[in-house]
Copies of this chain bind each other. A is one copy, B any other.
Amino acid sequence: MNIGEASKATGISVKMLRYYEEIGLVRPALRAYSGYRVYSDKNIATLRFVRRARDLGFQVKQIAALLDLWQNGSRASADVKSLATAHVQELEQRRRALDEMIATLEHLAHNCHGDHRPDCPILQSLGAEDTAAQKSPRKKAPRPTFAVA
């Protein structure tokens, strides 16, 4: 199978197939004499795994860990589960952040006339003199690390 066909079979773009190989997420594909990459059914299965993990929002490093576990017959399902639940927590945190933004914006937009006049609570809120809610420069938020013990 050529890379184009592999792309269609997995839903991963040609660019990303080459990238995943380059960064070592998957083993380099075999090459035909022409230099073309050749994908086996097994390769495709692995890539589909990657694709699904990606669709669940896992980062490449986490996908690598999942792949290792998948291919390791003596894994403990506990390890998989903890990876997954840690990831869920990360996603939930992002979700909460979004919730907050959305709530604030919807509230402000709701109170905005949205007409030809300049007055607008949205801008007023953004430009408020009020210093109350000052946070400091965000520190590198605890990056989605595995087992932040």
Contacts and interface: CB of A to CB of B under 8 A. Distances in A.
The listed residue with most B CB atoms (<10 A of its CB), out of A45, A115, A120, A125, is: A120
A113 to B, nearest CB: 5
The listed residue with most B CB atoms (<10 A of its CB), out of A53, A75, A123, is: A123
B120 A11 contact: no
Nearest to A125: B52
Interface stretch (A23-31, A32-40, A84-92): A84-92
A95 B102 contact: yes
Given A76-B118, A126-B70, A136-B8, A104 B45 contact: no
Contact of A118 (B75, B101, B113): B75
Contacts of A60: none
Nearest to A46: B127
Contacts of A78: 113-116
Contacts of A106: 88
Interface string A63-93: 0001001101111111011101101100110
Nearest to A135: B11
Interface string A106-132: 101100111111111011011111000
The listed residue with most B CB atoms (<10 A of its CB), out of A84, A108, A126, is: A126
A56 interface: yes
A128 to B, nearest CB: 8
Contacts of A91: 98, 101-102, 105
